[in-house]
């Protein structure tokens, strides 16, 4: 069956139709025609709405699917429903399942469960067995079996030699290491950001230093691996030249990142990554949407739905995150979707588990609390850059291209009343937002979010 999208404004800087309001005719999963007042067959499904916009499908770099092992919190089917409702056509799922995705068997299970879903599921495999930071997995075998990247997910890599060797192992296959920066000995028993608010609330703090220290360490290790001048580490493909400081200079398109920092949360972290990019290191980073909405003052009522890791930082840190998005230092916005059951959240704050579900509210949260980003910049952080980071084929709104698209209404107000997730651990239920996802098109099917 054909799909006809009527009068949609295109948001895609790589498309010749960027900024134009056009009709799109989709047939057999491809964009067959773009123009004005298009006609179609009698049985064509027509999609039209006020304030309708269309962009390449959105990509979430950080999702906890919880399947296998924790299906009572979430499973592949429910997480895909929630993701499609949030406007995503691609998600990358973390390896922190039971068993951990550290073998081809578990990787294959997730791939099989993802067949027939309304979006594509990309599997991030574990760096270490059981994601416990001790022994390496067979990363090259997992890479050839379809792992899109490598990470221990919720467990930051503490051992510097392990991180160094991982970067070296992945270098020949152009692999991606994703790491969440946290020195866990500095955050042990921590409940929230360390600062005035943690003192007032009587909660043990998690210092910003724990994140910043590990980012500095990882950047130094990355510099060593890619071959700083005089260290004899070899030359990496795609290099355009070497600065006198010893850092490689990469072109915008030739060299994808080798190291990706997940869910950075402090202004100092932004500055460290900004400097690293200026020096040519192949590094990227993302921020969770909820980190841009809340700060540590939001925890005054001890709402366990606001207990996350990394924790909500100071207002100054939040301002630094927005600045990092505006200048391109922060490449992507993610949901950091972490489902938790009621037994994990309906308890005292200090024993509650960390995590928020967020797949359905990423776009709405950003639009409702936007600090000066253009719509094009927001879509770039949700679509173009995360797709590049994962080395996925580009999606462009042009005739003959795949119709993996997200339809949305940036000016529409709506109330978040229910979730497709099995879990309900979100502070956003009942909140009214500006910015609504209408649905997605994937493999020739329209998946309505309304």
Domain boundaries, the chain: 58-393
Query: CATH for 58-393?
Result: 3.20.20.140
Retrieve residue 433's tokens: 């937002």
Catalytic residue, chosen from 336, 350, 353, 380, is: 336
3-state secondary structure the chain: CCEEEEEEEECCCCCCCCCCEEEEEEECCEEEEEECCCCCCCCCEEECCCCCEEEECEEEEEECCCCCCCCCCCCHHHHHHHHHHCCEEEEEECCCCCCCCCCHHHHHHHHHHCCCCCCEEEEEECCEHHHCCCCECCHHHHHHCCCCEECCCCCCCCCHHHHHHHHHHHHHHCCCEEECCCCHHHHCCCCEECCHHHHHHCCCEECHHHHHHHHHHHHHHHHHHHCCCCCCCCCCCCEEEECCCCCEEECCCCCCCCEEECCCCCHHHHHHHHHHHHCCCCEEEEEEHHHHCCCHHHHHHCCHHHCCCCCCCCHHHHHHHHHHHHCCCCCEEECCECCCCHHHHCCCHHHCCCCECCCCCHHHHHHHCCCCCCHHHHHHHHHHHHHHHCCCCCCCCCCCCECCEEEEEEEEEEECCCCCCCCCCCCCCCCEEEEEEEEEEECCEEEECC
Angle at 396 between CA 394 and CA 399, to 5 degrees: 130
Please tell me the pTM assigned to this model.
0.93
Looking at residue 256, its pLDDT comes to 82
Provide the mean pLDDT of the chain: 93
| Angle between helices 267-278 and 315-326 in degrees, nearest 10 | 30
User: What is the block-wise mean pLDDT of the chain (450 residues), using blocks of 10 residues?
Assistant: 95 97 97 94 94 98 97 98 98 98 98 97 98 97 98 98 97 96 98 98 98 98 77 33 30 69 98 97 98 98 98 98 98 98 97 98 98 98 98 96 98 97 98 98 94
- Decide: 405 and 56 in contact? Cβ < 8 Å: yes
Q: Characterise 142 by phi-psi region: left (phi > 0), alpha (psi -120 to 50), beta (else).
A: alpha
- Is 336 among the catalytic positions? yes
Tokens describing residue 444: 């020739």
């Amino acid at each position: 069956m054909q799909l006809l999208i009527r009068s949609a404004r295109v948001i895609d800087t790589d498309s010749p139709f960027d900024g134009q309001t056009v009709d799109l005719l989709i047939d057999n999963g491809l964009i067959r025609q773009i123009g004005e007042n298009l006609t179609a067959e009698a049985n064509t499904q027509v999609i039209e709405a006020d304030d309708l916009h269309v962009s390449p499908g959105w990509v979430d770099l950080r999702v906890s699917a919880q399947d296998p092992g924790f299906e009572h919190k979430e499973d592949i089917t429910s997480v895909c429903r929630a993701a499609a409702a949030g406007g995503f056509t691609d998600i990358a799922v973390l390896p922190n399942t039971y068993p951990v995705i550290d073998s081809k068997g578990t990787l294959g299970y997730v791939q099989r469960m993802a067949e027939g879903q309304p979006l594509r599921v990309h599997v991030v495999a574990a760096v270490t067995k059981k994601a416990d930071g001790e022994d390496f997995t067979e990363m090259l075998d997992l890479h050839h079996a379809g792992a899109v990247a490598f990470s221990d997910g919720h467990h930051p890599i503490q051992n510097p030699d392990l991180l160094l060797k991982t970067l070296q192992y992945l270098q020949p296959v152009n692999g991606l290491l994703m790491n969440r920066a946290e020195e866990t000995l500095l955050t042990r028993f921590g409940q929230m950001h360390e600062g005035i608010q943690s003192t007032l609330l009587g909660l043990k703090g998690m210092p910003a230093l724990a994140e910043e220290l590990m980012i500095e360490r990882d950047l130094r290790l990355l510099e060593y691996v890619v071959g700083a001048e005089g260290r004899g580490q070899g030359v990496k493909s795609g290099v355009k030249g070497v600065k006198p400081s010893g850092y490689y200079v990469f072109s915008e398109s030739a060299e994808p990142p080798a190291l990706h920092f997940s869910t950075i949360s402090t202004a100092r972290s932004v500055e460290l990554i900004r400097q690293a990019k200026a020096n040519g290191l192949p590094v990227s980073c993302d921020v969770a949407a909820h980190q841009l909405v809340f700060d540590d003052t939001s925890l005054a009522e001890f709402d366990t739905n606001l207990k996350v890791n990394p924790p909500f930082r100071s207002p100054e840190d939040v301002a630094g995150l927005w600045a990092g998005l505006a200048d391109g230092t922060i490449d992507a916005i993610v949901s950091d979707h972490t489902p938790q059951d009621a037994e994990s959240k309906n308890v005292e704050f200090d024993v509650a588990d960390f995590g928020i579900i967020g797949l359905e509210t990423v776009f709405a949260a950003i639009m409702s609390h936007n600090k000066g980003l253009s719509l094009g910049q927001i879509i770039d952080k949700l679509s173009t850059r995360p797709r590049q980071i994962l080395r996925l084929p580009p999606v462009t709104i042009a005739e003959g291209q795949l119709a993996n698209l997200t339809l949305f209404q940036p000016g529409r107000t709506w109330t978040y009343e229910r979730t497709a997730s099995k879990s309900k651990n979100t502070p956003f239920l009942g909140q009214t937002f500006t910015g609504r996802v209408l649905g997605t098109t994937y493999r020739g099917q329209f998946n309505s979010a309304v």
